[in-house]
Amino acid sequence: MNVAFFPDLFALALLVVILAMVRRRHSDVRADAWLLGLSFTLVESIAHTFYAPTGIPDKLLHVVVVDCYVLAGMVFNWAAGDQRLERSTRLLYLSLNGLALLTLTTIYGLNLRYSGIYVPAVVVGLLLGVGSSIFLRRSWLHAAAYAVGWTAIGVLVAHQDFRAAVYWSLASVYAIAAVNFQRRLERQSTGKLAIVAGFSIWALFFLTHPWVMDHYALHADIASHVWNMQKSLISIGMILTMLEEQVSNNEWLALHDELTGLPNRRLFAARLTSAVELCERKRSCLALVVLDINDFKQINDSLGHVAGDQVLREVSSVLRKSVRATDTVARLGGDEFIIVVTDMPNENAVERFTDSLRSAIAHPITIHDKPLVVGASFGFAMYPQDAKDATKLLRLADQRMYFLKKRPVHTAQIGAGAAAMHQA
């Protein structure tokens, strides 16, 4: 046992525990994958601690170390991989290629040093890599990369350079993880910088390991201490990334409605003020449109609050799709929504706009496998014709909406729609 590794081992174990504690407050699939990957690196570090100071490592310990490198690399690539692929497809793709590489590292860890036993693993790895890239990822580029990679491993095995064959393949795995994290994480993230740097250093260490062992074997202890540096760097980076995402999520929730994802009253007030100021400078007009869902309480009472939430989400989706990028849709609370529509020349244009929204909202929604027709009541006020103050505009639009909703003709129209949805 090499007690000199204990401080580094303790530091890594402490970081894994901290990551697990952070993950409890920020639980997602990627955080779970990060924790699993770092757990494999911790197992590798524990096994490395029991290496003999000199000579060939014990076979069992050697297998644990090199196989943990592969497993951790696969898990990290899973966490940073292409999310556009289906989960089952990504899992199958990584499992097939990870199994081939795991076979190669296991043979090497058992200290088997003759080419014949590596050849089947190389051939299977080549076939799986090319085949999975073509049939699962539909990518000839990935297929070509696997063909080149496994061919290079085969050449190294033929020249009996087994260490280079294994460690250079591991370098490729961790270099791919660095590239994937570079693409996946937010550009301004501090944690991203630590993670990408850590995986890049790790890939570099794998790449240079055969050369270091051939020329500086007497300094292996120093190299091993340097080797552990990037593990702590990656752990810290992952903790930073999770905390940054939590802060970003909290900031988003402070300005958005959690159910629909629309801006809330606070963000809407700021955008309305900005829109009014812009209209003043451009000497243009805008409309403030207020709407609520007809018979929403009846929907909640008869179909349940889950159905009511679905109606709110469907209506918010319709509204979001029906406005321009320069307009703002927000949920004020309950079943009430509000829209700022810029560059509206007159009331006729606003009425045409609200008619189009009314028709879009009336499209049937499937609730409990049955179609539900939803109606809405609208009211609007225009700047600067009706008022030049944001608060007065909102109050006037709200009053008009409730006035129109109470009109008998309007109520009859709404009642017909409500009857249709309950009979469906």
| Residue 282 CB neighbours (<10 A) | 11
Range in 6-15, 227-236, 351-360, 412-421 the model is least confident about: 412-421
Residues 168 and 236 in one domain: yes
Residue 260 maps to a domain: no
Residue whose C-alpha is closest to residue 125's, from 156, 103, 158: 103
pLDDT in tens, 396-410: 999 999 888 776 444
For residue 169, pLDDT over 50 is answered with yes
How many independent structural domains does the chain possess? 2
For residue 310, pLDDT over 50 is answered with yes
pLDDT in tens, 119-144: 999 999 999 999 999 999 999 999 99
Whole-number Å distance between alpha carbons of 150 and 123: 8
Residues 207 and 317 in one domain: no
Residue 397 maps to a domain: yes
Residues 147 and 286 in one domain: no
Which residues have CB under 8 Å from 44's CB, separation 6+?
64, 65, 68, 69, 72
pLDDT in tens, 341-393: 988 889 999 999 999 999 999 988 888 888 899 999 999 999 999 988 888 99
Whole-number Å distance between alpha carbons of 49 and 221: 11
Residues 359 and 221 in one domain: no
Give the CATH number of the domain where residue 368 resides: 3.30.70.270
Q: Which domain holds residue 92?
A: 3-255
Range in 20-34, 249-263, 348-362, 389-403 the model is least confident about: 20-34
Mean pLDDT of 286-307: 91
pLDDT at residue 233 in the model: 87
- 8 A C-beta contact, residue 275 and residue 340: yes
Which residues have CB under 8 Å from 61's CB, separation 6+?
47, 48, 50, 51
Residue 234 maps to a domain: yes
pLDDT in tens, 61-103: 999 999 999 999 999 999 887 777 888 999 999 999 999 999 9
Instruction: Report the DSSP pairing between strands 376-383 and 370-372.
Output: unpaired
**What Å distances lie between residue 332 and 3, 6, 159, 197, 390, CA to CA?**
62, 57, 71, 44, 15
Q: Predicted confidence band at 152 (pLDDT cuts at 50, 70, 90)?
A: very high
Residues 133 and 184 in one domain: yes
Residue 54 maps to a domain: yes
Residues 277 and 319 in one domain: yes
Residues 251 and 286 in one domain: no
Residues 331 and 292 in one domain: yes
Whole-number Å distance between alpha carbons of 256 and 264: 5
Residues 119 and 181 in one domain: yes
Residue 322 maps to a domain: yes
Residue 395 maps to a domain: yes
Residues 86 and 212 in one domain: yes
Helix (H, G, I), strand (E, B) or coil at 324: coil
pLDDT in tens, 209-219: 888 777 765 55
Whole-number Å distance between alpha carbons of 153 and 144: 14
Residues 12 and 31 in one domain: yes
Check 8, 292, 295, 335 and give the catalytic one: 335
Mean pLDDT of 21-45: 82
- DSSP one-letter code for 21: H
Q: pLDDT averaged over the chain?
A: 86
Domain end position, chosen among 223, 255, 287: 255
Mean pLDDT of 233-240: 88
| Residue 345 CB neighbours (<10 A) | 11
pLDDT at residue 359 in the model: 92
Domain end position, chosen among 255, 282, 311: 255
Q: Predicted confidence band at 421 (pLDDT cuts at 50, 70, 90)?
A: very low
Residue 409 maps to a domain: yes
Domain end position, chosen among 205, 237, 255: 255
pTM of the entire predicted model: 0.72
Mark whether 386 is an active-site residue.
Answer: no
Residue 52 maps to a domain: yes
Residues 121 and 59 in one domain: yes
